[in-house]
Structure 1
Amino acid sequence: MECASINGMGLRERKKRETVQRIAETALGLFVERGFDAVTIAEVAAAADVSVNTVYNHFRVKEDLVLPPDEASADRLAGIVRAREPGVSAADAVLAHLRGEIRRRARTVGLSPGFGRVLPMMLAAPTLAARLRDLGAQMVAELATLLAGEAGAGQEDPVPGLVAAQIGWVHSLVFGEIGKRTVAGESPEDIAKAAEDLLDAVEGLLGERVRTYATRKES
């Protein structure tokens, strides 16, 4: 009975993931075709063959269908830094993570197939564009809080916030470069090369204090 229960939970979880993926992919197709603001949740539900309540059970608001919280998270930069290995600084952790995503052509940096059609749709929708802008600021704030906690910095110490802002600037710069080239219709290979070249240039410009700040100590 216990084995059957475990198998049953596994099947339910798999079906849930499949439903979530089907809803998201259906919604994205409709948004790209007709525009984000022109499509209703009821139309997404009908096209995905689910109820409106099912859509809202998995996606709190319409914008989550394009920018799911588990992928477009305010904790992104802090999470990368939190997971760094001993001997790695906060800035180097983010630089290395970005390089890895670029080389994998990851969806998280907009290098997955078909993103060239998705980005213009996102930028054309005021609520999505605003959410993207707000997300960048939230990422920097979360990172600043993490760095201040690790350093034991007081509220009046500006350094954690300044370092977080520098790291956030690099992150935004890379995303901006990818976005600009995506809208221009460049190939993912060319975009990835340009993004890595940009990282090389930025890495050489960052000051030593930023590059070495919050280096995780060996345990």
Structure 2
Amino acid sequence: QGSRFVRALMLSSQDVLAKHPVNAARVARGDIPATMIWLFWGSGTPPVMPAFKLHHGLNAVMTSAVDLLNGLAQMAQIDVLDIPGVTDGLDNDYAAQAAGALKSLGDHDLVVVHVEAPDEAGHSGSVEDKVEAIQRIDRDVIGQILSRGNEELRVLIMPDHPTPVIKRTHTAEPVPFLLWGNGFTGNGAHRLTEAEAGGTGLFIEPGHEIIHNLIS
């Protein structure tokens, strides 16, 4: 009952804010209007992020169906691809997303390909959907990129966080990763799984430092 009240309050705020004089003044100034109250996240101002190119010396672009990630990309002055058919569910056009990423390498140095479907399957608690999403990423995204890339291509494959089906929420365990391409050699692992990765003894802390392994 409480959640229905909160949701109704959030939705009804759209009509109020659409007619509010403060928003009318913001639009007249060319500013973005406030369109809805959101009670689950705290308010605040956007953090200042250094430009990715300034920090790493590379022109980067991202493809994702998640507004949050696209917003983070824009804050870091990373271009955002608009690829028809890219969604946050199992109906995502995986092949089109990979093809768009490969095409963007013509005028970018680095492409971030984010696929949301496994995370959504984890939240819904569906083992079948999660397996299908991972298989399609393997075949239609990773397979296409590796088969069509050139000898200079370097690839980092990893989830951004775990979303175990049994818990249906994000958890903080380390995630497996795979680096492939020019300059990388094998370490004895044969499968990209949590158990196989844990057995290698390779652990990168803090996690964001892995970008240096990819681009250095």
Which structure features the higher share of helix residues? 1
Which structure features the higher share of strand residues? 2
User: Would the TM-score normalized by the shorter structure come out above 0.5?
Assistant: no
Q: TM-score, normalised by structure 2?
A: 0.30
